[in-house]
Every structure is written in structure tokens, then in C-alpha cells.
Amino acid sequence: MKSVAEILKEIRPEFDFTTSEDFITDGMLDSYDMVMLVATLDKTYGISIGGVEIVPENFMNLKAIETLLGKYGVRP
Amino acid sequence: MNFTFRRKRISGILAIVPANERTFIEEMKNFNFPESRSLKLKEVMGYDKHRVVEPGVCVSDLAVFGLEHLFKQGLLRPDEIDALILITQSPDYFMPPTSNVIQGRLNLKQDMLCLCINQGCAGFLIGLIQAFSLLEQESIRKVVVVNADVLSRKTSSKDRNSYPLIGDGASITVVESDPEDSVIHANLKMDGTRNDALIIPAGGFRLPSGPETAVLEDVGDNNLRAKDHLRMDGTAVFNFVQTEVPPLIESLLTFAGVSINAVDYFLCHQANRFMLQKLADKLKVPHAKMPSNIVEHFGNSSGATIPITIAFNLSTQLKNHDFQVCLSGYGVGLTWASMLMRLGRLTFCELVDYP
């Protein structure tokens, strides 16, 4: 199964997501990227991330995304 | 705020969409954005085709076309219309009211009420609430609710956040008293402190349009937009809908004493497919009960998307059957509303192209 970093790389191949602590401030993810990321995470892990969880704080770095996935029982 | 209406019903719905169809694939080149990312966005958001008016076409053109269609088909008589409510954010003029313009163009009787309401994505429900209230008057037996917008004319074609999903369209809904002892429940909320989440900044009296308001500006994410154009804070609107709408619908069902499983269809404003699927998941409603296919076929035409959803998906069934439906609209204002009713056995339920 793909890792979160691999999924991010598919969405924005031009960035290295393992080195940033704030994807949003660093201009690596915009709001539409977040939508695409959520759709991909839902499909990959068989979950449905709640709409109210789709806020920048939950997608600002790998740790935040993995914490969010943990709420849905996913340990990527 | 809760509402209860007794012995009222929708008796017919006509949806009107411009014949002019554009595709996302054709328009991708207008966006300063990599093609591969646009294609991913197309899949997730449901961007595909949308209908937009030709230059110069106004709201009254769509409304007059639809009403003349009903008159010609013998589905509505001009002299039956005791009130005409137009809900739009893109009127023909600041003054006179576009509802009066429609009345004049159709030579309708003088003994009637024409009313314009400035509302958007919740406008179908706001119009119905107004229509049901008017039907309490003995002099008003039939109300025509027109939802119409041509907001593509106020949207930047270089704004990937808005243009691909915007559609133009109209609907004509006939509302009258119900001989059966039916009950309709509704609720709504408004929050004007968030009025700038969806806004056209220029063109009113606060900031009149001029050469400077027509200048395209880079507003981030490689999108170009002028102050004369529609501005949508997509993240704020998305979070507003996901936070506010599920509890509103749950509260309505509690108020009406109806379980969520007893609702046959959730007919919601069509903002985009992703938003609707997240809404359905939050409410634990099967996606098949909440159609989300209007943006991909026609675009988001504001308040008309709910009647367009009905006409596009359920026209055949609604002529002979009736269903327990929950309507919900949410958007500009901010405004969010929901309504529970039995809908069906309609005199007409049809979608037509303009012209």
C-alpha cells in the first residue's frame, strides 16, 4: 500500500514532502490539492475523512496527516 | 428558525438550461495550471460540462422562455399566476425589479404580486417559504417561484476555483394549496458576519464598477480575477457546509418526527460532487439517495440546482409517484436551509434547453 509521502508525490511531483514542516505555508499544497489528497486517501485506505476535518491544520505536514489517518484506524 | 406549512404543495417543476455547452477539457487551457493536475481535479470535483448563456442573455430571457413553454403546452395559464417570486443574484437591472420585467414581457394580469429576492444557493427554499406564506391569503391561489441566475457573466474564465463549476440556469416551480392534509417542515439559519465568503465585490453602490475594478489580478494559486467577478472562498464555504448543514438536517428531521431512513431522497444544492459525497457520508446517507451529478452535466447554477436535480434525475418517477424528500440549500449570505415534504404526482417535471 502506498505511503502518504508517495501519495503526496503523485499529486505534486515537484516537491519533496519529507523535508517540509508546513506544506501550506511553503506553497506545496493548495486547497484543491487538499481535496485531491483526501479523495486519494479515502480510496487508498477505504475510509471517508469527515468534511469538517478538511482544514489546513490537518494537512500541514506528514505527522499531521498521519495523526488524522490514525483517527480512522489507519496506520500508514 | 423552524417553519411548518399545512396543505401546500409543489405541483410542477420546469428546469431551463442554456443550450450552449462548454467542456472542462476545452477550457483547461485558460487556467494557468498544469494539465495533469486539472485532470485530477476534474475527476474528484465532477467538473466535466457546464451550460453557460451566450453574451447578452439575461435572467428574464430564461424565465420568459420557460413560462411561454408552459403556456404553449397548456400546463399553466397566464391568468392563474397570482404571485411571481424571482430569486436571483443577477437581475436584468438594479431597477426596476426583474420580476416586474417578466410580468410585463408576458403581459400578465395587473392583479398580482411580483417580488424579487436577492438570494443564492439556498434561494429555492427561501422562495418556497415565501410562496407557502403567500398562499395563506385567499386572493393568492397559485404562486410561480422562479430561480434564475446567469453568473457565468460575472465569473472570470481564468479563475479555476470558480469558472469550471459555474453554470447558468433557471427553474419555474408552481406552488399551490394541497387538497390533502399535508405538512411541510422547514428550518433555516443565516449568518451575515460571513457575508464575504461568496461575494461580487464591485458593481453595487459600495464599490461601483469602473476601469480599475475590471483589471484582472493574480489572486493566488495561479488564478486571475477582477473585483467585478464572483469571488468564492472555497475552503471557507466547504467547511461552512460540512459544519452547519448536517446538524441542520438532523434538527429538521427531529422537528418533523421523521427518521433519516424514511427519507427517499436528499435533494441538495449542487456545489460540487466532492462536497455532496462528504455531506452524504457525514449524514450516513447512501450516495444514491443524494444525487450529485448536476455540476458534471450543467454546472452550479446557484438556487436553481435543486429543481434541476429533480428534473434531471426524477422527472419520470415524480409524475406518477410521490416521495418523502429532504431539500437543502446553502451558500451566499451565509444562508443554510432545509425542508421536508412529500414531493410527487406533479403536473409537469421537465428539463428544457434555452433557446
Is B242's Cβ below 8 Å from some Cβ in A? yes
pLDDT in tens, B291-316: 999 999 999 999 999 999 999 999 99
pLDDT digits (tens, 9 = 90+) for B8-20: 999 999 999 999 9
| Residue A30 pLDDT exceeds 90 | no
Global ipTM: 0.89
CATH number at A42 reads 1.10.1200.10
Query: B240 to chain A: nearest residue by CA?
Result: A52
| pTM of the entire predicted model | 0.95
The secondary structure of B179-237 as a DSSP string is SS--EEEEEEEE-GGGGGGEE--SSSSSS---GGGGS-EE-STT-EE-TTS-EE-HHHH
Cell digits of residue B266: 436528499
Q: How big is chain A, counted in residues?
A: 76
pLDDT of residue B354: 98
Q: Which of B41, B220, B243 sits opposite A36 (nearest CB)?
A: B41
B221 touches chain A (CB under 8 A): yes
Closest residue in A to B37 (Cα–Cα): A11
Are the C-beta atoms of B349 and B310 separated by less than 8 Å? Answer: yes
Domain that holds residue A45: 4-71
Residue A76 lies in a domain: no
Tally A–B CB contacts below 8 A. Answer: 54
Tell me how close the Cα of B155 comes to any Cα of chain A, in angstroms: 18
CATH number of B1-355: 3.40.47.10
Mean pLDDT over each residue of chain B, to the nearest integer: 96
Gyration radius from chain B CA atoms: 19
Domains in chain A, number: 1
Residue type present at position B228: D
